[in-house]
Amino acid sequence: MNTDPVVTHPDLQLITLDVNGERHDVITEPRRTLVDVLRHDLRLTGTHVGCEHGICGACTVLIDERPVRACLMFAAQAEGARIRTVESLSADGNGGGGGGELSDLQRAFSEHHALQCGFCTPGFLMLAEGFLAERPEATKEEIREVVASNLCRCTGYQTIVEAIDACATARRGACVTPCIPDSPADKEH
Q: What's the average pLDDT block by block, 10 residues per block, for the chain (189 residues)? A: 61 96 96 97 96 94 97 97 96 56 94 92 96 95 96 90 96 67 46
What confidence score (pLDDT) does residue 173 get?
87
Rounded CA separation 34/79 (Å): 10
What confidence score (pLDDT) does residue 6 get?
56
| CB 51, CB 123: distance < 8 Å | no
Contacts of 164 (CB under 8 A, 6+ apart): 105, 108, 114, 128, 131, 132, 138, 143, 147
Residue 120 parent element (H or E): none
Residue type, 142: E
Residue type, 56: C
Rounded CA separation 82/66 (Å): 10
pTM above 0.75, yes or no: yes
